[in-house]
Amino acid sequence: MKPEIEQFIANNYYELLSICKKYVKDNKTWDASELLHEVILQIYERKTEIVLKEYDDNSIKYFIISMIAINWKSSTSRWYYKMRKDYVNLQEMTDDIEVIDDYDDAIDKQTFIDYVEEEFSEMNWFSKLIFSKFLTYGSIARTSRETKIPASSVSRYIKETKKELITRVNNRLK
């Protein structure tokens, strides 16, 4: 890494952190510092040298800001795969769960996701393992290939786990 970039990061860490806070905003799941640290790690671990027209503060700043933006917004970024992918999949799964009609108290989405995570953590190890692999790989076919379990069995395990998780969460909401 160029010493100019390293010096910029050291001198402007809190400014970069405030920029990350603007991206993360009201999201209670991640801390802005996690995003910034991931970007800094990516800069340090780059195999190729960072080439900018000039190595002045503005060029370096906008290079780092562009990396922050890409990591936050892109579904193919390293940040997404490390941090957001499982959370996004979990959010999609919770959208399928129907909240019981006679539940009168308002419940925010984050609390609901917390309930799902807690109930999921109490399930048996095999259900958690298969379902986690399914969320990671994104498809039954790939989960089957990676685990060497027949696709029909993987599909059945996922359906059973999802049904049990829905039942547990709905019982908790009663």
Please indicate, yes or no, whether residues 108 and 147 belong to a single structural domain of this protein: yes
- Residue 101, pLDDT > 60, answer no
What pLDDT is recorded for position 95? Answer: 60
130-167 pLDDT per residue, tens:
988 888 888 888 888 889 999 889 889 999 998 998 88
Spatial separation of the C-alpha atoms in residues 64 and 127, rounded to whole Å:
41
Range of the domain at 93: 84-173
Question: Is residue 35 one of the residues assigned to a domain?
Answer: yes
Please indicate, yes or no, whether residues 88 and 133 belong to a single structural domain of this protein: yes
22-36 pLDDT per residue, tens:
888 866 556 788 888
Spatial separation of the C-alpha atoms in residues 40 and 36, rounded to whole Å:
6
Query: What band does 106 get if pLDDT is binned at 50, 70 and 90?
Result: low
Question: Is residue 142 one of the residues assigned to a domain?
Answer: yes
Residue 65: count of CB within 10 angstroms of its CB = 15
Spatial separation of the C-alpha atoms in residues 144 and 152, rounded to whole Å:
9
Across 43-57, 91-105, 160-174, least confident range: 91-105
Please indicate, yes or no, whether residues 68 and 92 belong to a single structural domain of this protein: no
Please indicate, yes or no, whether residues 62 and 100 belong to a single structural domain of this protein: no
End position of a domain, from candidates 73, 106, 131: 73
Please indicate, yes or no, whether residues 91 and 163 belong to a single structural domain of this protein: yes
8 vs 104, residue with greater confidence: 8
Please indicate, yes or no, whether residues 64 and 28 belong to a single structural domain of this protein: yes
What pLDDT is recorded for position 100? Answer: 47
What pLDDT is recorded for position 4? Answer: 84
What pLDDT is recorded for position 21? Answer: 87
Please indicate, yes or no, whether residues 109 and 66 belong to a single structural domain of this protein: no
Spatial separation of the C-alpha atoms in residues 157 and 153, rounded to whole Å:
6
The full 3-state SS of the chain, as one line of letters, equals: CCHHHHHHHHHCHHHHHHHHHHHHCCCCCCCHHHHHHHHHHHHHHCCCCCCCCCCCHHHHHHHHHHHHHHHHHCCCCHHHHHHHHHHHHHHHHHHHCCCCCCCCCCCCHHHHHHHHHHHHHCCCHHHHHHHHHHHHHCCHHHHHHHHCCCHHHHHHHHHHHHHHHHHHHHHHHC
Model pTM score: 0.48
Please indicate, yes or no, whether residues 52 and 103 belong to a single structural domain of this protein: no
Please indicate, yes or no, whether residues 25 and 97 belong to a single structural domain of this protein: no
End position of a domain, from candidates 73, 99, 129: 73
- Residue 54, pLDDT > 70, answer yes
Q: What's the number of domains the chain is made of? A: 2
Q: Is the dihedral of CA 36, 39, 45, 46 positive or negative?
A: negative
End position of a domain, from candidates 73, 94, 129: 73
38-51 pLDDT per residue, tens:
889 888 888 777 77
Please indicate, yes or no, whether residues 69 and 88 belong to a single structural domain of this protein: no
